[in-house]
Structure 1
Amino acid sequence: MSGIRVLVVDDDFRVAGLHRDAVAARAGFVALEPARTIGEARAAVAAHAPDLVLADVYLPDGDGIEFVRSLDADAFVLSAATDAATVRRAFSAGALAYLVKPFDTRVLAERLDRFARYRNLLAAGRPLSQDDVDRAASVMRGEREGPSLARSTTEQSVLAALGTDEASAAEVAERIGVSRATAQRHLTTLAERGVVQVGLRYGSTGRPEHRFRAGG
């Protein structure tokens, strides 16, 4: 079963069905059969290992927020409860989002899209920089992505080495005393954020060389 697996936990079968259908309508998501109790939810988690759980607070056999706290999975809390204490408790339990019922299913769809981007940003096979962490947090909060105020020392050195010139990863590496692979990794990350531009220089033989220049 490919895609982001989502489990809805709600004792109202009509509401659970609406939320399940909203999940199923999003590309890249798989809606599991909803659970109506914490007991059913625990069994579903054990059987299907969902990536995301959408849990109500008030369930027949317990507290949905405490269930979220016990999970080794991401979660949203979906509840009619609007008191600040409940909302704070949901976030302290690890919920990535709190949606106040009733809400338009488009609101849930938008949060699901944010979650997909959040997961993608944190799925890198390399160590994450502060910018990577800040971008993931900003995406989940719905904020506009921007460069972090705190760049790593190496990234600062890479940008300083570029200055106003165009350079290859090998040239940058030589200027700041790091390996070419390290320079390439940081330059690629900066290019993905729009901090540097990438061009190609074609020589007489061989493959074209990537050239980097500061400035988005």
Structure 2
Amino acid sequence: MTVHVLIVDDDFRVSGIHRDLVEARPGFVALPPVRDAASARRAISEDRPDLLLLDVYLPDGDGIELGRESGIDRFVLSAAGDGATVRRALASGALHYLIKPFDPAALHDRLDRYARYRNLLAAGELTQHAIDRAGAVLHGGQSTSPVREGTQQLLLGALAEGEASSAEVAERIGVSRATAQRHLSDLAARGVVAVTLRYGTAGRPEHRYRAK
């Protein structure tokens, strides 16, 4: 099952990054990103996406209301972190809310869970168990094992030395970059660490982490 994703963001650099993240996941296809609500409505009508990745603040409208109006599954990706905006987005039917900038692994994780959620709901007649399982897959958290907590304490200790990339943190505590990135993504999603983007002269921007 292929999931067609429409990205709606007025910053072309950000929408390009999100497009690449979507394309990197098996089973997902990114439609050409759009930068305003009017273009999004045309793309929704013509391309019929399965999933929207919406910014809140658009030049000609409100992304949350655009999502509600569309009735399409959606994630809200926004720099707005105030409780009122987050509650409004979730109350409108958004499946996930990610605060920009975020670790790429955070979006990949939610896309993968969304794909499993769609597959579980693809059956014609659903039992209550199947519905509960689909909801758990979509919103389920990660394990809180002692090993995970210990690793994250080491990561926070490393960030006490100052802002760093996932590779730098990995080197400080002696774990793989993938392990450091996975745990940093989780800490960022929980609001324990902050993420910023550093744009270089070429290539993708580097994610920098700091303890809050």
TM-score > 0.5, shorter chain as reference = yes
4+ runs deviating over 4 angstroms: none
Question: Structure 1 regions of 5+ residues with no counterpart?
Answer: 145-216
The higher radius of gyration belongs to 1
Q: AA paired with 1:136? A: A
2:113 paired residue number: 114
Question: Does residue 29 of structure 1 match 2:28?
Answer: yes
Equivalent runs, 1:162-173 vs 2, <5 Å: none
Q: What is the CA deviation profile of residues 107-144 of structure 1, one whole-angstrom value per residue up to 9, with x for unaligned ones?
A: 1111100000000010012x211111111111111247
Range that drifts further, 51-60 or 130-139: 130-139
Equivalent runs, 1:100-111 vs 2, <5 Å: 100-111=99-110
Q: What is the CA deviation profile of residues 77-101 of structure 1, one whole-angstrom value per residue up to 9, with x for unaligned ones?
A: 0001111110010011110000011
* CA distance in 1: counterparts of 2:77 and 2:140, whole angstroms: 17
2:131 paired residue number: 133
1:62 paired residue number: 61
Equivalent runs, 1:184-195 vs 2, <5 Å: none
Q: AA paired with 2:52? A: V
Secondary structure at 2:5 match in 1? strand
Q: What is the CA deviation profile of residues 22-77 of structure 1, one whole-angstrom value per residue up to 9, with x for unaligned ones?
A: 00111000100001000010111011100000000000001000001111310000
Aligned-pair Cα RMSD in Å? 1.1
* CA distance in 1: counterparts of 2:141 and 2:77, whole angstroms: 21
Q: Count residues with an aligned counterpart.
A: 142
Equivalent runs, 1:16-55 vs 2, <5 Å: 16-55=15-54
Question: Structure 2 regions of 5+ residues with no counterpart?
Answer: 143-212
Q: What is the TM-score when the length of structure 1 is the normalising length?
A: 0.64
Distance apart, 1:21 and its partner CA? 0.5
Secondary structure at 1:35 match in 2? coil
Q: What is the TM-score when the length of structure 2 is the normalising length?
A: 0.65
Q: AA paired with 1:104? A: D
Question: Does residue 12 of structure 1 match 2:4?
Answer: no
* CA distance in 1: counterparts of 2:140 and 2:26, whole angstroms: 19
* CA distance in 2: counterparts of 1:128 and 1:120, whole angstroms: 12
1:207 paired residue number: none
* CA distance in 1: counterparts of 2:8 and 2:83, whole angstroms: 22
